[in-house]
Amino acid sequence: MNDLHQISSVLGLSETWEEKNGSWWIAPAALDIRLMAAVMRSHEARFVTLTAMQLAQDAPIRLDYHWDINGQLLTFTTYAQGNQVPSIVDLCEAADWVERETHENFSIDFTGHDYEPLLLRAGDASGLQLRKEAP
Amino acid sequence: MSYRVPIGPYHPALEEPYKLDLVCEGETVRDAELHIGFNFRGIEYLAERRNYAQVIALMERVCGICSNVHTLSICQAIERLAGITPPERALYIRVIMAELERLHSHILWAGIAGKVMGFKTMFMASFELRESIMDALEAISGNRVNYAMNRVGGVNRDIEDPGLLLGMLDGIEKALHRSIIPIFTKNHTALTRCVGVGVLSNERAKSLGVVGPTARASGLTQDIRRAAPYAVYERMCFEVPVETGGDVRARLVVRALEILESCKILRHALTTMPGGDWWGSKKKPKVPAGTAISRIEGPRGEVLYSVTADGVSDMPTRIRVRTPTYANMPAIRVMLRGAHLADAPLIQASIDPCYSCTDR
């Protein structure tokens, strides 16, 4: 719990952590994603993965960043503004593949991360597989 | 002068399709590029088009080796969302299935590693022993690969005679102590082939976020069964083997010791399993809106499922699957740098990769 308070305080978040279904969640109105990655790194948190989702057609893309601190799972929920999100790869190399996969599935550009295909093969259309407007 | 050696996507040195482009100087690997996606099936897309019963069968097909891990993960996530607690006996059966699966997966890996090393005796001994574990899994579930044991709120089949399994476990443990464990931990041929090969330092293991035996062989202690226990793991007595060498030998030893710990857990679960209901509720689960996450320690490491429901549809809005090989595979590039070209197949095999899981 001390870690959670410290993390929120360094990130300047007014929202509080909520325990839901066995893990801790926070959904800040404004989240500096790169600062989050830097703070989690300073707490020796392990980056687990990123879950992207679009809950309805035309809804913004929701991004859940999952981190582990000593077995405790912490999730930051934020929304992509337009189709661009700052990359955290330079701060957290474990995010490389998942940012590339999210780019392929949701057509989100992680700025500062050179895009290389991951799951798609040459000639495949990139970007819209998991968007709700996908056929 | 450097030259490139392409291996794969279909190659005798790789068990599954993926591609390694090795940049070599003489016999030394200077860098490696990894290419995946040759098994990509769009399972996360398909999952949004299946109801909560159908999606379990779909997820069982993510992997042919650790299929039980995937159904357990998704059932746990749906149960958390719907506020369902399975009966005690079902939780014990889940632990027994998970550990039998870990046993057969680790022993399968031992055989494959033996084959890659050119140590065919290890391959034969491992595959012979693995058969008896496959027999146990078949006796319980009726299936050798996709066991279909987990359902939301319980399990689909009981273990009617734990005594029979205990007898089988005695035989498996004897064979392990006679052949597999000494080969893994003491055999000169096996160990000299692996010492100092494919090193992943503790620092890089942390930074790359590797999981499972790959992480524990680099000195990280993480094991979801201990750190965030599920089912009835908090009641099981077992150690989490950790090695600090970070090389192929350390990964070999960690898996060997984990085989023995799995036997310990199996014996404990089989002798303390309570009687009673194992099926759970017969009602179709009502899944409210929200997101729940489930994490399981699979044979290759942490598996994460995130399930999101809208509370209206009988199909999930989003299912995210993060498999252990997906987390471990980028580390192969680090392990390969500076290695001998001839060690490349062994190094990539040492993380026990599963491309079916990785590609989904």
Nearest to B42 among A46, A121, A129 (CB): A129
Number of other CB atoms surrounding residue B296 within 10 Å: 27
What is chain B's mean pLDDT, rounded?
90
**pLDDT at site A65:** 97
3-class SS of residue A74: strand
Nearest to B227 among A70, A129, A130 (CB): A70
CB contact (8 A) between residue A119 and residue B36: yes
pLDDT tens digit string along B80-120?
Answer: 999 999 999 999 999 999 999 999 999 999 888 888 888 88
Residue B101 one-letter amino acid: E
- Mutating which of B48, B49, B76, B306 best tests the A interface, going by the most A Cβ atoms within 10 A? B306
* C-beta of residue B259 within 8 angstroms of C-beta of residue B101: no
| Residues B23-41, mean pLDDT to the nearest whole number | 89
pLDDT tens digit string along B263-305?
Answer: 999 999 999 999 888 888 778 888 999 999 999 999 999 999 9
A116 touches chain B (CB under 8 A): no
Q: Which residues of A touch B228 (CB under 8 A)?
A: 22, 71-73
Please, which residues 61-100 of chain B have a Cβ atom closer than 8 Å to chain A?
80-81
pLDDT band at B183 (very low <50, low <70, confident <90, very high): confident
Dist CA B8 CA B345 (whole Å): 11
In Å, how far is B297's CA from the nearest CA of chain A? 12
Dist CA B208 CA B331 (whole Å): 7
B304 touches chain A (CB under 8 A): yes
CB contact (8 A) between residue B207 and residue A94: yes
**pLDDT at site B110:** 87
Stated as kind and residue range, the H or E segment containing A48 is: strand A46-53
CA angle (B14, B19, B21) in 5-degree steps: 115
Of A78-87, B45-54, B202-211, highest mean pLDDT? B202-211
**pLDDT at site A134:** 57
CB contact (8 A) between residue A71 and residue B227: yes
CB contact (8 A) between residue A53 and residue B317: yes
**pLDDT at site A133:** 65
Nearest CA in chain B to A134: B45
Report H helices in chain B: 43-47, 54-60, 67-82, 88-117, 120-141, 162-175, 181-185, 188-194, 202-208, 212-216, 224-227, 248-272, 324-328, 330-336, 344-349, 355-359
Dist CA B76 CA B95 (whole Å): 13
CB contact (8 A) between residue B228 and residue A75: no
Nearest to A119 among B37, B80, B224 (CB): B37
**pLDDT at site B247:** 94
Q: Which residues contact A99 (CB under 8 A, 6 or more apart)?
A: A50, A87, A88, A89, A110, A113
* C-beta of residue B225 within 8 angstroms of C-beta of residue B297: yes
CB contact (8 A) between residue A73 and residue B208: no
B34 touches chain A (CB under 8 A): no
Q: What is the largest CA-CA distance in chain A?
A: 49
Q: B65: which DSSP letter?
A: S
**pLDDT at site A124:** 62
**pLDDT at site B36:** 86
Per the model's pLDDT, the better-predicted residue between B5 and B189 turns out to be B5
CA angle (B153, B159, B162) in 5-degree steps: 135
Question: Could you tell me what percent of chain B has a pLDDT over 70?
Answer: 99
B311 touches chain A (CB under 8 A): no
Q: Which residues contact B77 (CB under 8 A, 6 or more apart)?
A: B292, B293, B294, B305, B306, B307
A42 touches chain B (CB under 8 A): no
Phi-psi region of B4 (alpha: psi -120 to 50; beta: other; left: phi over 0): beta
Dist CA A122 CA B193 (whole Å): 38
Domains of chain A: 2-111 (3.30.460.80)
Q: Which residues contact B215 (CB under 8 A, 6 or more apart)?
A: B205, B222, B301
Burial B236-255 (b: 16+ CB within 10 A, else e): bebebbbbebbbbbbbbbbb
- Mutating which of B76, B201, B203, B291 best tests the A interface, going by the most A Cβ atoms within 10 A? B291
Per the model's pLDDT, the better-predicted residue between B14 and B345 turns out to be B345
pLDDT under 50 in chain A at which residues? none
Q: Which residues of A touch B224 (CB under 8 A)?
A: 71
CB contact (8 A) between residue B304 and residue A71: no
**pLDDT at site B128:** 87
B44 touches chain A (CB under 8 A): yes
